[in-house]
Amino acid sequence: MNNRFLDFRSDTVTKPTAGMLDAMMNAKVGDDVFGEDETVHALETKLASTFNMEAGLFCPSGTMTNQIAIKCFTQPMDEVICDQTAHVYRYEIGGIAYHSGASVRLLHGERGILTPELIEPEINEDNIHYPNTSLIVLENTVNKGGGSCYTLSQIAPIHHLCNIKGLKLHLDGARIFNALAATGDQAGEYGKYFDGISVCLSKGLGAPVGSVLLGSKQMIHKARKIRKAFGGGMRQAGFLAAAGIYALDHHVTRLKDDHAHAQALANALASAKYVKSVMPVETNIVIFEVEKGTAEKIVHQLKEKGLHCNTTSASTIRLVTHLDLNAEMIDRAIEIILHLS
């Protein structure tokens, strides 16, 4: 990390640790498009087993794994239901329409969390004028919700509704391990509820690149072809997969440290005069509200003091804790926050 800044812009800014780099350099690799990279296969198998899914597919990004899953589960003229804050809608440049020819029905959950009561009235009836509702997408944790989490007890009734209505259920699990750390739920239970799960390795887990799509063997067979069409087939990708395996083995249990750091920042922000409110902190994301129109100015002032963060609107600012920010750095950030005039 640049020594000039405490970088809270995202948990995607982390650099590989020495141990991770060593694992990457010593990875056994082959041509993954030919199915010959044993390290990629090991990563896919490891995550599929962790989440009790049949198979996995290693891809360059979470956007790709999400869009592949949506294309697997929809046809043109279908409709996808998600929250209005969802990454698949807001931050994947219209990929649902572009790649899958599907429309999107946006719901307004509490901090991005959907319920069966919100979803069911929005499922289209069979009518010549309406798109066919075919897929529900959940996000865990919810980025725009300030790292809010679904529990399995909240997911189960949504899964039940999908079964009754004949819908597929996909999880954008960009920060799923943060959700597991916060809720205490078991990863292996997720396979009971989802048809597809996207697991990102390059956020809180600290790998430099990659996301794995999990699903049935049949779904992943189809997904592999779609990945190729998207230009996502990688050759000696085992060097990257090795980083993912290392992250899963060494960086999961420490996620609670990031959550504690986020709470400490939130506590400091709550007493800052320029802060109107702070979203409740559940994981590693802190979103706070300031006077409308002042967010950019405050971000600039914080950057001048050495704290780098981003706005999420004209009146909200986001900080994200991660592997490269230790307790001493959090203390420095709190000093900056409290002394900003």
Q: What is the Cα gyration radius of the chain?
A: 20
Of 220, 250, 280, the position where a domain reaches its end is 250
- Contact (Cβ atoms closer than 8 angstroms) between residue 160 and residue 192: no
Residue 5 falls within a domain, yes or no? no
Residues 6+ apart with CB under 8 A from 338: 268, 271, 272
Say if residue 213 is exposed, middle or buried (CB neighbours under 10 Å; 0-12, 13-18, 19+).
buried
- Residue 1 lies inside a defined structural domain of this protein: no
Q: The CATH number of the domain where 328 resides is what?
A: 3.90.1150.10
Question: C-alpha angle 217/220/222, rounded to 5°?
Answer: 110
Question: Phi, psi at residue 93, to the nearest 5°?
Answer: 40, 45
Cα of first residue to Cα of last residue in the chain, in angstroms, is 26
Q: Please tell me whether residues 93 and 240 are part of one structural domain.
A: yes
What is residue 334's three-state secondary structure?
Answer: helix
Residue 211 within a domain: yes
Give the residue from 250, 271, 289 where a domain finishes: 250
What contacts 336, CB < 8 A, 6 or more positions away? 6, 302, 305, 306, 307
DSSP-derived letter for residue 124 is P
Classify residue 120 by its DSSP letter: G
- Are 226 and 68 spatial neighbours (Cβ–Cβ below 8 Å)? yes
- Number of domains comprising the chain: 2
Task: Decide: helix, strand or coil at residue 70.
Answer: helix
**Do residue 54 and residue 182 come from a single domain?**
yes
User: Are 35 and 77 members of one domain?
Assistant: yes
**Long-range pairs of 95-98 with CB within 8 A, sequence gap ≥ 24:** 95/63, 95/66, 95/67, 95/70, 96/67, 96/70
Q: Greatest CA separation found in the chain?
A: 61
Retrieve residue 135's tokens: 């897929």
Same domain, 47 and 188: yes
State residue 5's pLDDT score. Answer: 87
The answer as to whether 4 is a domain residue is no
Residue 170 located in a structural domain:
yes
Give the domain-ending residue among 217, 250, 283: 250
Q: Are residues 66 and 142 in the same domain?
A: yes
Whether residues 167 and 261 share a domain: the answer is no
Residue 184: burial class (beta carbons within 10 Å; 0-12, 13-18, 19+): exposed
Residue 258 sits in the same domain as residue 118: no
209 plus 280 within the same structural domain: no
Phi and psi based region of residue 166 (left: phi greater than 0; alpha: psi -120 to 50; beta: remaining):
left
Residues 56 and 196 in one domain: yes
Within this chain, do residues 188 and 262 fall inside the same structural domain, yes or no? no
Containing structural domain, residue 208: 18-250
CATH code assigned at 102:
3.40.640.10
Residue 99 tokens, joined: 């790649």
Partner residues linked to 198 by β-bridges: 172, 213
- Beta-sheet pairing, 316-320 with 285-289: antiparallel
Please indicate, yes or no, whether residues 52 and 151 belong to a single structural domain of this protein: yes
For residue 9, tell me if it sits in a domain.
no
DSSP structure string for 290-303: -STT-HHHHHHHHH
53 lies in some domain: yes
Q: How far is CA 192 from CA 66, 182, 213, 216, 230, in A?
A: 19, 20, 16, 12, 29
Q: Is residue 59 part of a domain?
A: yes
Instruction: List average pLDDT for each run of 10 residues in the chain, which is 341 residues long.
Output: 79 98 98 96 99 99 99 99 98 98 98 99 98 99 98 99 99 99 98 98 98 99 98 97 99 98 98 97 98 97 97 97 98 96 69
> Do 99 and 167 fall within a single domain?
yes
Distance CA 179, CA 168 (A): 22
